[in-house]
Chain A
Amino acid sequence: NAGVMQNPRHLVRRRGQEARLRCSPMKGHSHVYWYRQLPEEGLKFMVYLQKENIIDESGMPKERFSAEFPKEGPSILRIQQVVRGDSAAYFCASLRRLNEKLFFGSGTQLSVL
Chain B
Amino acid sequence: LAKTTQPISMDSYEGQEVNITCSHNNIATNDYITWYQQFPSQGPRFIIQGYKTKVTNEVASLFIPADRKSSTLSLPRVSLSDTAVYYCLVGDNGSNSGYALNFGKGTSLLVTP
* B interface: dominant SS: loop
How many residues of chain B get a CB closer than 8 Å to chain A's CBs? Answer: 23
CB distance from B1 to the nearest CB of A (A): 10
**A83: min CB distance to chain B, Å:** 23
Q: CB < 8 Å: which of A4, A42, A106 contacts B102?
A: A42
Q: Across the interface, do A58 and B42 meet the contact criterion of CB distance under 8 Å?
A: no
- Chain A residues near B45 (CB-CB < 8 A): 104
Chain A interface bracket (under 10, 10 to 19, 20 to 34, 35 or more) = 20 to 34
| Contact between A43 and B93, CB atoms less than 8 A apart | no
- Taking CB atoms, residues of chain A closer than 8 Å to B44 are 43, 91, 93, 102, 104
Distance between Cα atoms of A109 and B103 in the complex (Å)? 18
Residue A62 at the chain B interface, CB threshold 8 Å: no
Chain A residues within 8 Å of B, Cβ to Cβ? 4, 33, 35, 40-45, 48, 55-56, 58-59, 89, 91, 93, 98-99, 101-107, 109
Report which B residues bind A (CB closer than 8 A). Answer: 32, 34, 36, 41-46, 49, 87, 92-94, 98-106
